[in-house]
């Protein structure tokens, strides 16, 4: 296959930025080229430059754009990443008044490990409460994977052993080396596609929102825009969890920090 030119790389990354808000710089050219080569091959197009022209020019089927966005979106995660947030969530869940509905949003849920981790905490700490977890992601492919709830066992290295026994099933036969989130837990977690660069008014207001390890991919203007969209879905007394490696203090947002990477309305 023909190598990806600088011109094609620029046109694809500009398109990707306009849709997702994520900027892919020159350091990502090899990664982008590899994924585009595979996409072009799958689409039956031997010339990657022609494939790029078709997609960017709007001459390819609409679903090809979705596939391109899916492939260029990075989705690497595991269960109970940054455990301090789950400890805070456990304290809040344990103190829930009886009869109050409690809603959690995993706003950049990737393949679902974060959302299911939150669900395990809620099922453990507030078994009689009314609660639900909603996960959203830009990528339709990872949303579909999250709904299945099937994962390599190595992603569960941080899951407490008791939770593994109660909330996960060990794969057998062709699924050896995998785990499946139990059906009862999956039933209380909902996954949808959503672009955080746009308002998400169809969602309810949440008690807790996870927005972690996604802002690092955006410039400051896009970060502020995303956080404002997310804050619009946070209850007045709700909390926002951000990644420990992500700083939002310079964005001029109406936030008050309660603890490291834990915020509420300012």
C-alpha 242/C-alpha 260 separation (Å) is 9
Q: What b-and-e string marks burial along 164-196, b requiring 16 or more CB atoms within 10 Å of the CB?
A: beebbbebeeeeeebbebbeebbeebebbebbb
With 0-12 / 13-18 / 19 or more C-beta atoms within 10 angstroms meaning exposed / middle / buried, residue 149 is buried
C-alpha 125/C-alpha 92 separation (Å) is 9
C-alpha 155/C-alpha 119 separation (Å) is 16
Structure tokens at 130: 């009314």
Query: Is 137 annotated in the active site?
Result: yes
**Which one from 70, 88, 137, 207 is the annotated catalytic residue?**
137
All residues at 6 or more sequence positions from 34 whose CB lies less than 8 Å from its CB, including other chains: none
Edge-to-edge, what's the strand order for the sheet holding 206-211?
Answer: 189-193, 130-137, 101-106, 206-211, 234-242, 262-265, 255-259
All residues at 6 or more sequence positions from 162 whose CB lies less than 8 Å from its CB, including other chains: none
**Which one from 35, 50, 67, 190 is the annotated catalytic residue?**
35
Query: Is 157 annotated in the active site?
Result: no
Q: Which residues are catalytic?
A: 35, 137
């Amino acid at each position: 296959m023909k190598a990806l030119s600088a011109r094609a790389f620029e046109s694809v990354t500009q398109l990707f930025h306009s849709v997702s808000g994520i900027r892919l710089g020159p350091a990502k050219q090899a990664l982008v080229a590899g994924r585009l080569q595979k996409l072009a091959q799958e689409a039956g197009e031997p010339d990657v430059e022609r494939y790029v022209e078709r997609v960017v020019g709007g001459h390819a089927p609409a679903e090809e754009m979705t596939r391109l966005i899916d492939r260029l979106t990075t989705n690497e995660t595991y269960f109970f990443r940054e455990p301090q947030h789950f400890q805070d969530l456990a304290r809040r869940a344990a103190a829930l008044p009886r009869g109050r509905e409690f809603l959690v949003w995993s706003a950049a849920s990737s393949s679902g490990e974060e959302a299911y981790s939150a669900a395990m905490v809620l099922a453990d700490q507030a078994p009689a409460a009314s609660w639900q977890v909603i996960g959203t992601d830009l990528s339709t492919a990872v949303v579909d994977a999250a709904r299945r709830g099937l994962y390599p066992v190595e992603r569960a290295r941080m899951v407490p052993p008791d939770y593994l026994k109660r909330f996960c099933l060990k794969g057998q036969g062709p699924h050896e080396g995998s785990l499946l989130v139990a059906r009862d837990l999956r039933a209380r977690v909902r996954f949808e596609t959503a672009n955080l660069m746009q308002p998400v008014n169809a969602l309810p207001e949440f008690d807790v929102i996870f927005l972690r390890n996604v802002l690092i991919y955006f410039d400051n203007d896009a970060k502020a825009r995303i956080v404002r969209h997310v804050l619009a879905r946070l209850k007045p007394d709700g909390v926002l969890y951000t990644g420990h490696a992500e700083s939002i203090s310079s964005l001029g947002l109406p936030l008050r920090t309660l603890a490291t990477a834990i915020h509420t309305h300012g």
